[in-house]
Structure formats: structure tokens, C-alpha cells
A and B are shown apart, each in its own frame.
Chain A
Amino acid sequence: DTEVTQTPKHLVMGMTNKKSLKCEQHMGHRAMYWYKQKAKKPPELMFVYSYEKLSINESVPSRFSPECPNSSLLNLHLHALQPEDSALYLCASSQDLGSIGNTIYFGEGSWLTVV
């Protein structure tokens, strides 16, 4: 089972709203990731968590706030977003950051539209 589950699949939010994207994996992976993908562009890394601690923040604006409540869950809290933040948000996980078997598995993504 190499499944990463993301909810919701689609989200429409206003610029003053607060919402969250959720991600779950039950593969025992200890590294989890958020990527952002704009239309017709490749995915871009946003955050990396390793053993529930934030390891990498790719200079993402503070209106995006990640959270890793346990080893299976990863959230992305959204607040005061702009229309240009509309994109596909991808969650991914891997065994850990450093091992040879570090294949990264992606979820199907959450489509976010900011109006």
C-alpha cells in the first residue's frame, strides 16, 4: 500500500477565510512534504517534515502554516490567501529523508481556488 490520502479534493475559499488541507498516510513514513503546483507548471516544494519536526521551509509566505500533529498526519492551514495562491496542493511522504529507499509517494492533491 503506497497511498497518501488528501482531503478535500476541491476547496474554494475567500481571501478572508481560514481553511485547512489535510493529508494522511499509513505507511509508517517519517518524512512528509507539501508541494504546490500551478497550472501547466511542475510541482514546487513548500515544506518538509521529518519525524514530526519542520525541516525545510522553502521561504513560503506565512499565510501558509504547516502542522504535523503526528507521524501519520500533515495539515496545511490557510489564512488570508490571495487569488494567485490558487493551485493544486500536493502532499507526499517517504520512509525518511536520508535512506537509500527514499522514494517519495504523492497524494492526488487538493485543488484550491481563492476568490
Chain B
Amino acid sequence: DAKTTQPPSMDCAEGRAANLPCNHSTISGNEYVYWYRQIHSQGPQYIIHGLKNNETNEMASLIITEDRKSSTLILPHATLRDTAVYYCIVRVLGTTDSWGKLQFGAGTQVVVTP
């Protein structure tokens, strides 16, 4: 599975949009981009995933560039409860033979401030 690069930390003001970048320049055509977050002392929480189209759900939006070499997770209105480590992961999906390990990188520590 391709590796990802994320900034180690970023701050965001409460109520503003948080834009979290992720670089995955070696991504393959059959690899999906997944985002998880981990609030301190809790288990990782699934946020969103996508292949090449932009995706939106009740938690966030995922914008994937046309060449798929990078993506941005957008938290539209950050709250204090969004303070967490955010992980961008690329993995293969499709068949059992090509099962993609969910392999976490270092992630981005996001701190939302009042």
C-alpha cells in the first residue's frame, strides 16, 4: 500500500473550517483514501473514504485531486471535540487476495482552540 505524508500538527479556530492535507503521490489505481481520527485515549473513529470522486458525509468532506496524488479532509465547522489525531491512509480494496492492511502513519495532531 502507498505511503502518506501529513503535517505533524495544525491548529484551528472553533467554528472555522479545518482543512487537513494529505500527500499520497505513489497511490495506485485500486487504492482508496481513508481517514480516521483518534481522540485522546479512545479507539480510532472512521470518518470517510473515497477512490477518486469527492465524498461528503455528516462528519466531513473529502476532496481528492484529479491526479489522486493528494487529498484534503475538510471539517466544515470545527468544534473543541474535533481535537484529535487525524490519520490519512491509503489501502487496496477488492478481493481477499489483495486485502489492504489498514496501516496507520504518524497522522496530524489537530488542536481546535476557542
Binding site for B on A (CB under 8 A): 2, 4, 33, 42-45, 50, 55-56, 88, 90, 92, 96-100, 102-109
Q: How far is the CB of A37 from chain B (nearest CB, A)?
A: 9
B20 to chain A, nearest CB (A): 16
Contacts of A45 in B (CB 8 A): 101-103
CB distance A106 to B44 under 8 Å? yes
B105 adjacent to A42 (CB under 8 Å): yes
Number of chain B residues close to chain A: CB under 8 A: 22
Partner of B95, one of A56, A92, A98: A98
Q: What's the nearest-Cβ distance from chain B to residue A7, in Å?
A: 13
Whole-angstrom distance between the Cβ of B27 and the nearest chain A Cβ: 17
B residues whose Cβ falls under 8 Å from a Cβ of A: 41-46, 49, 87, 93-99, 101-107
Q: If A42-B106, A98-B94 touch, does A103 touch B45 (CB 8 Å cutoff)?
A: no
CB distance from B37 to the nearest CB of A (A): 11
Contact residues in B for A43 (Cβ distance below 8 Å): 44, 104
22 examples of A-B residue contacts, CB within 8 angstroms? A2-B46, A33-B102, A42-B106, A43-B44, A45-B103, A56-B101, A90-B44, A92-B43, A92-B102, A97-B96, A98-B93, A98-B94, A98-B95, A98-B97, A104-B46, A104-B102, A106-B43, A106-B44, A106-B45, A108-B42, A108-B43, A109-B42
| Most A Cβ at <10 Å: residue of B41, B44, B96 | B44
Docked pose: A98 CA to B98 CA in angstroms: 8
Q: Kindly provide the distance from the CB of B38 to the nearest chain A CB, expressed in whole angstroms.
A: 8
A contact residues around B93 at 8 Å (CB) = 98-100, 102
**Inside 8 A of B44's CB, which chain A residues have their CB?**
43, 90, 106
